[in-house]
Amino acid sequence: MPGVPNSFQHLWTPHRLVYIQNGQQPAEHECPFCLGPNGSDEDSLIVHRGEFGFVLLNLFPYNSGHLLVCPYRHVSTYDLATKVEVDEIAAMTQQAMKVLTAVSKCHGFNIGMNQGEVAGAGIAGHLHQHIVPRWRNDSNFFPIIAETKALPRLLGEVRAEIAEAWNQVN
C-alpha cells in the first residue's frame, strides 16, 4: 500500500531494468564484455588491455577495486577458453592482486568465476573472473542490517589509479 512504512530501504536502480526485461542476460550482440573493448578505457572502466583479454572494474562492485578479468572472445565457460586465454587470465589475475595490494592496501581477496546463469553469473554468456579486494574490518552493519553496501570511492577515480599503477607494480 503506497505511503505505508516498512522495514526495507529502497535503492532505485533503473539502470538494472535492461537485465530484468531481457531475462537478466543480454543478447550476445549487446554483451557488455564484447562491447567494452570498443569504447574508451575510461567509459568502459578498463584498467588493462592484454593480447587475449582485458581487466575492468565491475560496474556493480562488491568492494572498491572489484575487478573482472575477461577474454576478448565471447566464450561462456572456462573449459571453452583456449590455453593462451587461460594463461593470460591467470597472469592478469596475479598482476591485479599485486596492483590492488599496492594501491588499496587490501589484506586479501575473493577470486572466483560463476559459470552459467544457474550458478549466479550476471553475464553468463561471457567468461569473466571476479577479483574482490578485502580488508580487515571491511564488514560493518550496512550489508548485514541495512542490506546496503557503502563504497568509499567513485569508479572513475579507482579505475584511473589502478590503470596508472598497472605497469609500475611488479
Where are the chain's structural domains? Answer: 21-165
Which of residues 58 and 118 earns the better pLDDT score? 58
Catalytic hit among 48, 66, 126, 128? 128
Amino acid present at 33: F
Q: Does 107 qualify as catalytic in the annotation?
A: no
Residue 88: Cβ-neighbour burial (10 angstroms; 0-12, 13-18, 19+): buried
To the question of domain 21-165 being in CATH 3.30.428.10, the answer is yes
What is the structure's pLDDT at 88?
Answer: 98
What is the structure's pLDDT at 145?
Answer: 47
Three-state DSSP at 160 gives: helix
d(CA 123, CA 116): 8
pLDDT > 60? residue 69: yes
pLDDT band at 2 (very low <50, low <70, confident <90, very high): low
pLDDT > 80? residue 21: no
pTM for this model (two decimals): 0.78
pLDDT > 90? residue 138: no
What is the structure's pLDDT at 11?
Answer: 62
